[in-house]
Structure 1
Amino acid sequence: MDLCQEKPLPLAITAQDGYPLKGLCWRHLTDTPQTARPVIVINPATSVLCTYYSRFAAYLHRNGFDVICYDYRGIGLSKPASLRGFQAGWLDWGQLDFQAVLQYAASDFPGQPVQVVGHSVGGMLIGLAASNANITRVFSMGAQHAYWRDYPAKQRLRLLLKWHVFMPLVTALLGYFPAKRLGWMEDTPRGVVQDWTARAARFEDTYKSGARVLSSADRRGIIAQFTALRCPTLALSVTDDEFGTVAAVQRLLRCFDSSASTHLRVAPESLGLKEIGHFAFFHSRFEPTLWPIALAWLREGSLPDSVGDSVGEIVKPLKTVR
């Protein structure tokens, strides 16, 4: 007997360093093992609550998947009593938090294929987990690591001042970034701000100077871990996304040089819309239009017929440069 939950179950996972992570899990209740049903892990964007993805997770669940969505350390359900002085960065989110969720998926959903949906930095974090070779398919939305030169030329100065000047200055004063008070996103740990505001074209070079310096061997290890991902990837981006520009998305895809990737670029006008932006893909109003693209990819590794007709343009891959 196979029953579909109406509401998600609370999720509690402990990372390798002992940090408690929390989230939500949508799973089918069944009396027998379901090795053919994929379990999908949703990696949120930087400082975005896992509950933001609940509508999309429920949609995937209704369409036959088990789904896990969680908050990184320092965010939402996984937030400590105080962020002042709390140290957590993108390396922690990928190497510890996402890795712990992959291990949980493997143990609690034995034999089921593991797929990943990564939004923004959530797509980049896939490359940091030691178990990423076990992932069978990836769908990403606007995935990149916020290199400032990839911002649109007309918005570059404004975004540079906002995210790479104002944010680190406030963080230096308070010990964390009070984004929620500003109405921007969730409050953000200091280490994440340091990673976000670094000006390195390659992610691993973020740690060549500043507060956290990695050895050359450690940086080579990061490169190798990105290369360990070998499953097919569909990277979706939209033309009015200030973060997910063609240059930014392609830069990240080149890091996953063992993964056969497809970059689908969608213009809001092709759907009769004025805007989509960096976040709106996960709003339920896109269930009839954009969500079927992700569903077809996660189910079959292919694009729906509608994409070939009027929605989306395939961006040609660029050569790997590291």
Structure 2
Amino acid sequence: MSALSKPPASGIDLPGAAMAITIPAADGYPLAAFVWRGVDAPRLVPRPVVVINAATSVKSRYYFRFAQYLYDNGMDAVVYDYRGIGHSRPGRLRGFQASWTDWGALDCEAVLEYATRMWAGREVHLVGHSFGGWAPALAPSNRYISRMVTVGAQFAYWRDYGAGARWRMALKWHVVMPALARVFGYFPGRRLGWLEDAPAGVARDWSAPTPRYEDRPSARRQFRDAGLPAAQARAHILAISLTDDPFGTVEAIDRALGYFIRCERTHLRIAPREIGREKVGHFAFFHSDFQDVL
């Protein structure tokens, strides 16, 4: 069970029907999570539950308005912070052991298990942003997901970056980021204004120059003798990408989708001009400014 008598994120301004809880990860690490839960009316179709996975080093509160929007439109929702991020951050991040694989195989796994237990018999959907759309590939409980929507979801192979920004992004994320992580014992993204601070293991996984996730540092340990759990997922996947997102190129999205071999997969590519906007990029899909057009 997960709910605490004293919310783990006390002091944060929660919208609408949101409630702060703690979900123990698969190894017992306490994850801060936020739940929007309604009550089904008799004789109506049960409300599905939507697990929302954040992008790398983005706090869960970035998705609060999106979760509230889902709740207001007939769905329950769970948003959470990966270990080392936001309200799941330990007192000291330097030397804290956490990786992308931990975020998927332990953290996402635990939240999926929580959703299937707390909403027994309901459909479980998942919305994943950037790495959050890849995390279910690492979670054995992905078999419970009936539908997935991913936005710019990939695992950062540098050759997949947009051609116009590829070398600048490679320098930033594959040279500078791991170098700083080695010096500080974590990636100090906040002081650089890039992202939130992140565990060093996440920086190592991101910066690995391999096109196969199995060859990332943490994945080699976790999946050395077995394939990724992505192969067992059977969800209907809608992968959304934006033409002005240098992370979410066609090559990057299709590389990630290629692991979900048993899923029905659709890649929807959107140009900002098609919705009457100049730009959307990698992050703005979840801004409330876009709720009427996206």
TM-score (normalizing by structure 1): 0.84
CA offsets 1:53-108 (integer angstroms, 9 cap, x no match): 01111111101000000000000010000100001001111111011101111111
* 1:120 has 2:130 as partner: yes
Contact 1:35–1:111 at 8 Å: present in 2 too? no
Residue 31 of structure 1: CA displacement?
Answer: 7.8
2:34 to 24, 31, 38: 24
The total of aligned residue pairs comes to 280
- The one-letter code of the counterpart of 1:221 is A
Alignment map for 1:40-59 (pairs within 5 Å):
40-59=50-69
Residue 34 of structure 1: CA displacement?
Answer: 7.8
2:262 to 250, 258, 262: 258
Q: Which residue of 1 aligns with 2:9?
A: none
Q: Which residue of 1 aligns with 2:288?
A: 284
- CA–CA separation in structure 1 for the residues paired with 2:181 and 2:172: 12
Residue 270 of structure 1: CA displacement?
Answer: 1.1
Q: Which residue of 1 aligns with 2:189?
A: 179
Residue 29 of structure 1: CA displacement?
Answer: 3.4
* 1:247 has 2:251 as partner: yes
Alignment map for 1:1-322 (pairs within 5 Å):
6-29=16-39, 36-207=46-217, 213-214=220-221, 218-219=223-224, 221-223=226-228, 225-290=229-294
Residue 79 of structure 2 aligns to a residue whose secondary structure is strand
CA offsets 1:3-50 (integer angstroms, 9 cap, x no match): xx9231002111121100012111103587987321000000000010
- CA–CA separation in structure 1 for the residues paired with 2:26 and 2:236: 28
Contact 1:34–1:112 at 8 Å: present in 2 too? no
Contact 1:128–1:222 at 8 Å: present in 2 too? no
- The one-letter code of the counterpart of 2:120 is P
**CA 1:212–1:283 in 2, change beyond 3 Å: closer, same or farther?**
closer
Residue 214 of structure 1 aligns to a residue whose secondary structure is helix
Residue 202 of structure 1: CA displacement?
Answer: 0.9
- CA–CA separation in structure 2 for the residues paired with 1:34 and 1:12: 30
Residue 274 of structure 1 aligns to a residue whose secondary structure is coil
Q: Which residue of 2 aligns with 1:305?
A: none
**CA 1:180–1:23 in 2, change beyond 3 Å: closer, same or farther?**
same
- The one-letter code of the counterpart of 1:108 is M
- CA–CA separation in structure 2 for the residues paired with 1:154 and 1:115: 35
* Unaligned ranges ≥5, structure 2: 1-14
- The one-letter code of the counterpart of 1:255 is Y
- CA–CA separation in structure 1 for the residues paired with 2:72 and 2:140: 30
- How large is the Cα RMSD of the aligned pairs? 1.7
Contact 1:103–1:131 at 8 Å: present in 2 too? yes
TM-score (normalizing by structure 2): 0.91
Residue 222 of structure 1: CA displacement?
Answer: 3.4
Contact 1:115–1:137 at 8 Å: present in 2 too? yes
Residue 183 of structure 1: CA displacement?
Answer: 1.1
**CA 1:33–1:80 in 2, change beyond 3 Å: closer, same or farther?**
farther
